[in-house]
Amino acid sequence: MDWFEAATLGDIRLTLAPARHFSGRNFINRNRTLWGSWVVQSPVYRLFYNGDSGYGAHFADIGKRFGPFDIVLMENGAYNSHWANIHMKPEQSVQAAMDVGAQTVLPIHWAKFDLSSHTWQEPIERFRKAAAKTPLTVATPYIGEVFDYREPPQRTWWQDVP
């Protein structure tokens, strides 16, 4: 698939959308496949899955083409100044969620693996602080928790983790 190509499965439409990243895990297979994000549309909801991406104008373009979104799964973690082209700082992730037209945003990629030098709780704390200045609803479920996007959990469970 190329960016903006879509496939339909029943009444669900999946569209590959742009991202700023790369593909592959080593120099042998680098950039042999296209990296991207996903737009998921059904008769009931619209979802955007960011995956990994640096911040850019592509978020506003996705919002104009497909938004607004009922829920957005937005990268939040594994950032540092050397990775600015492929990963966002929490404040940029909040802006990207606004750019695509999120109503509810689920910060992802912050609580499972520690891939950078920031503390484990820093990404979600910075994300929530930045999002508090916006109309976004921030979903913070337990890891693996199933929830209804119309009633997202908003607890601060990580503050109780030693």
| Domains, the chain | 6-160 (3.60.15.10)
- Predicted pLDDT at 154: 97
Give me the mean pLDDT over the 119-127 stretch: 93
The pLDDT, as a whole number, for residue 84 is 79
Euclidean distance between CA atoms 78 and 93, whole angstroms = 12
Across the range 109-125, mean pLDDT stands at 85
Helices then strands, each counted (H, E), the chain:
3, 7
pLDDT of residue 56: 95
- pTM value? 0.92
Find out whether 19 and 52 touch, Cβ atoms under 8 Å. Answer: yes
DSSP string, 42-61: -SS-EEEE--S----THHHH
Scored b (16 or more CB within 10 A) or e, 148-157 reads: ebeebeeeee
Q: What is the pLDDT of residues 63-108, one digit of tens each?
A: 999 999 999 999 998 888 888 787 899 999 999 999 999 999 999 9
Whether residue 15 contacts residue 39, with contact meaning beta carbons closer than 8 Å, is answered with: yes
- Other C-beta atoms lying within 10 Å of the C-beta of residue 125: 15
Strand partners, 74: 107
The per-residue pLDDT for range 20-63, each reduced to its tens digit, is: 876 666 667 666 668 899 999 999 999 999 988 989 999 999 99
**Which helix (H) or strand (E) is 72 found in, with range?**
strand 69-75
Q: How far is CA 66 from the centre of its chain?
A: 15
